[in-house]
Amino acid sequence: MDYRLVGLQAVGDISIQIGNFGVPFIAIELFGKSTALAGLMTFCIGLPYLILGTRIGRYVDGHTIRSSLAVAIYIRILSLVSVIGFIQGHNYFSTPLLVALLSLSMTVLGAGSSIYEISVYSLITRSMSADRLAYTNSYLLSATSTALLVIPALSAAIVSTTSVATLYAVDTLIAVLAIFHLLRRSDAGAAMNRPPDKVAHVGRSGFGLILKQPDLLDLVMVSTALKFFVRSGNVVFIIGLSAVFDMRPIDMSVLIAMTGIGVLLSSTFGWRWGAKSGLRQTLIFSALGSAFAWGMIGVAFWFPKLPHTMILLGVGNLAFGFCTATFNSSTATLKQKTSPSEAQAAVHASFQMLGWSALAAGSLVGGETARIWSFPAVFLSVGIGIGLGALMLTIRPARYLRLVYTP
């Protein structure tokens, strides 16, 4: 295993977790716990995938991974500095102008994040043999689980003692250190510096390749639906904990750490589960498990005064982390095995463009649903929606049984 891959994955995951923790607290600190504005800013982070997803994929396929990562990190630094400036100077702006400026900054931040994420994905496929992809994807979940375990607690401590602007300053520092390390290393690895395949310059349609692969087509529909529902719940989860349970940031971090433990367990046992059960069964049962987890969270929010509500929330987050990570890892393995090497980033970007379309819509729908109805309504709807997606996998033709899940 190339530990550079783990390091690059960790930098991306740390930024994601800081963003997940930071956006709700921007809404809490500056906009009176507005779920609608939290949803709007989260929507803006996903907007570049929606508008530029396929172009980003072709860009990454046509350049070295090292140069793509450098561009991504520079964009992130620029946007993070602007976010910090607007938060610190919020008293000098009217509320509509401040919302517009922060939304613009979040959009630029999302552009950098999308280039970074697609570049890391492409690096994995360029540097790993096909028979090691499932193991590699599961192994990289260790970086994700570490971020989920460490960053929420660190973020909570920072927000509790200083402000959300300091949290984004830490993210900026991480980006600066990443670009310094990336540029100073001349031995960044053959895959990192390998010239792109000539066919990549011509451009391959990721959507066209998906349409030609029935397995990919089935999976992109289900994974897109799951992302919509999961984001609907995630975007209001932290605000819900504050509004319903009056929970402190440090207590929230403990619950989010349970998700990290679930992801860690998936990185150890998820690919073994897939190797024994087959890809189709793994996808179905991991989706059902995620639906059940959100159901538990919804029940906990519906009956917040029950004596074991915190246990229900903790178990729900643990199950969500394990099942969702296993589903995502299996999805990545299927994409990598069935996509041409010269168009890996294009296919992934097409998946992500559809996925982020769903994430963007879910951000808005989740925020508005919580505002109009209630937090329990959001979380129970998420569980039902994911369950319907799992049902779709069970009634589709069993082509997945012919796919080999190689550890």
Both tokens of residue 334? 């299927």
For residues 23 and 37, what is the distance between their CA atoms, to the nearest angstrom? 9
340: region left, alpha or beta (phi > 0 left; psi from -120 to 50 alpha): beta
CA 172 – CA 378 distance, rounded (Å): 33
Residue 397 within any structural domain of the chain: yes
- Domain with 11 in it: 3-402
C-alpha closest to that of 374 among 28, 141, 35, 88: 35
Give the model's confidence band at 4: pLDDT under 50 very low, under 70 low, under 90 confident, else very high: low
Q: What is the pLDDT at residue 76?
A: 92
pLDDT of residue 407: 39
Mean pLDDT of 10-31: 81
Is residue 407, in this structure, part of any structural domain at all? no
- CATH code assigned at 279: 1.20.1250.20
In the prediction, which pLDDT does 187 show?
A: 42
pLDDT at 31 over 50: yes
pLDDT tier, 400 (very low <50, low <70, confident <90, very high otherwise): very low
Q: Is residue 107 part of a domain?
A: yes
Within a domain: 204 = yes
Backbone angles phi, psi at 205, to 5 degrees: -80, 110
Residues 60-77 pLDDT 10s: 877 888 888 889 999 999
Q: How confident is the model at residue 140 (pLDDT cuts 50, 70, 90)?
A: low
Name the DSSP letter for residue 33: S
For residues 152-162, average pLDDT = 80
The pLDDT score that the predictor gives to residue 339 is: 64
Q: Give the three-class secondary structure for 194.
A: coil
Does 130 reside within a domain? yes
Give the pLDDT confidence score for residue 406 in this predicted structure: 42
| Rounded Cα distance, 62 and 316, in Å | 42
Sequential DSSP letters for 346-400: HHHHHHHHHHHHHHHHHHHHHHHHHHHS-HHHHHHHHHHHHHHHHHHHHHS-SGG
pLDDT band of 266, cuts 50, 70, 90: confident
Per the structure, how many domains does the chain have?
1
Over range 203-231, report the average pLDDT.
Answer: 69
Q: State in Å, rounded, how far the first CA of the chain is from the last one.
A: 13
Average per-residue pLDDT for the chain? 78
